A and B are shown apart, each in its own frame.
Chain A
């Protein structure tokens, strides 16, 4: 290790309104659910889950939400970014039938997980929850890989009208899944955890991060669980014990911020 690796953006692609994917060369072995820390020179450095995994190329998919993502949104082929990682644990993808639930930009990092599940011949049911149809992305990618796709929108502009967790509830009553894998707003993931009962559950969390290597403590939840190192994917058993799950996160100063 000698600091972040400087990578050239090899392609950037608009996925939906305000949502973009950036591709860069990376030979690092990466598993779905892991993340990179992306340095946008002169602006910021932020963690981003991997959304494309190829042997030699990796991708990150993000929404314009703040200073860093606004800056990164302007990046195009040939621009340079710094990359650290991959970091974190990633999903454990096993069983015969998995229910995937992605909410908002959380959909992006679920895509390689679903692709791996299909590759392992696991029956994959995917719920994609967004506010409205303009924010939906990766739908075709999921369909093409052979997953069963259902869409929910808050405003009913496409698919089921309501929250992804409500749609998931319907599926959980009539089907048997070996596992539930989710990424999205923490309140949604908490609802899913409550619904999951005895089904093994894995959720990918997001926290403000600084070091990414498990020493600074900025991103800890529960009893010293480092989202960057022990996570970002935690199982249901662990999350049930973490009092802050879906309750609060911490800002850069370490102050509690309620969800």
Chain B
């Protein structure tokens, strides 16, 4: 629900505190052929393949959205630092309040995770993107790496203002009857309830490694899920697939559930819970 200004406005009206756009690249890109998404028992598997109208056309959507008061975080994907810099500048020009560097899409050749699993590239891209704009820059990371802590550290060294973790988890679904993968791209990214423990673990590990804020994401469906991420070290959370489980007002529902929990446990400030699980 981040395709156009109309959708983002509707989500904003459902209680979201900020909106992250879909990931936008320099040029129009159709993404992969369908099937691009599969409903599974414990989550959703997708291989959209980073479809985007391109930064030029998307500018209009951002400008239209900006009539609202809540912050807009422009998510971008590029194949090198030059592209990330150009995209960051455009996002600033169009009025985005922050930039999120997608270094974690698990199924797009030459983009996302292929960049985000290299500590040097992460540091270089973050640093160049950060110095090209006057906006907060967040780096979205994947759980599909063996050295997550090093990569988070590289983003911090590059000057990131925050880490976003995690993106979808690399996965596959095979149809027994047809004896073949269902997704046109074969491999996709898994989201939804099943990946929450993976995300919580990653946020916990990143929190032990860096001093910058963390935005937790992955399988958050309820207020209790959000609190788990917060106790692991997240200062904010993102919701995507939660819309599938609890409809568009999932944002308001989760906020109410967090408030309810805090009241019940006499917690006055949510910030008191950030990282509470670390001894």
Q: List residues of A whose CB falls within 8 A of some B CB.
A: 1-4, 6, 39, 41, 44-46, 80, 82, 84, 210-218, 220-226, 250-256
A80, B36: Cβ atoms closer than 8 Å: no
A-B contact count (CB 8 A): 128
B175 in the interface (beta carbon within 8 A): yes
* A3/B38 contact (C-beta < 8 A), A44-B33, A250-B3 known: yes
A6's nearest neighbour on chain B, judged by CB, is B177
Name the one of A45, A214, A253 contacting B244, with C-beta atoms under 8 angstroms.
Answer: A214
Is B178 an interface position by the 8 A CB rule?
yes
* Among candidates A4, A82, A215, A224, residue contacting B240 with C-beta atoms closer than 8 Å: A215
Q: How far is the CA of A215 from the CA of B77 in the complex (A)?
A: 20
Q: Do B6 and A224 touch across chains, with their CB atoms under 8 A apart?
A: yes
Within 1-52 of B, Cβ neighbours of A (below 8 Å) are at 1-4, 6-11, 22, 28-31, 33-41, 44, 46, 48, 51-52
Complex partner residue of B34 from A46, A220, A221, CB under 8 angstroms: A46
Instruction: Write out the residue numbers on chain B whose beta carbons fall within 8 Å of the beta carbon of A255.
Output: 28, 53-54, 57
In the complex the two chains form, what is the Cα distance from A253 to B119 in whole Å?
A: 30
Complex Cα distance, B39 from A39, in Å, reads 14
Which 6 pairs, one residue from A and one from B, show the smallest C-beta to C-beta distance? A224-B10, A217-B3, A45-B34, A6-B177, A224-B7, A252-B30
27 sample A-B contacts, Cβ–Cβ < 8 Å, listed by A number:
A1-B40, A2-B40, A3-B40, A39-B34, A39-B182, A210-B31, A214-B1, A216-B1, A216-B48, A217-B1, A217-B2, A217-B3, A218-B3, A222-B6, A223-B7, A223-B10, A224-B7, A224-B11, A225-B6, A250-B4, A252-B31, A254-B22, A254-B51, A254-B53, A254-B57, A255-B53, A256-B57
Known A212-B37, A217-B22, A220-B4; contact A4-B243, beta-carbon cutoff 8 A = no
Contacting residues, chain B, for A44 (C-beta < 8 A)? 33-34, 184
User: How many angstroms between the C-alpha atoms of A80 and B4 in the bound complex?
Assistant: 36
Q: Quick check: is B241 within 8 A (CB to CB) of the other chain?
A: yes
- The reply to whether A3 and B6 form a contact with Cβ atoms under 8 Å apart is no
Q: Which residues of chain A come closer than 8 Å to B256, judged between CB atoms?
A: none
* Selected contact of B1 from candidates A2, A215, A221, A252, CB within 8 Å: A215
B278 within 8 A of A: no
Kindly identify which residue among A2, A215, A217, A251 contacts B4, using a CB–CB cutoff of 8 Å. A217
Q: B82 near A: Cβ within 8 Å?
A: no
A253 and B22 contact, Cβ closer than 8 Å, known pairs A80-B178, A211-B36: no
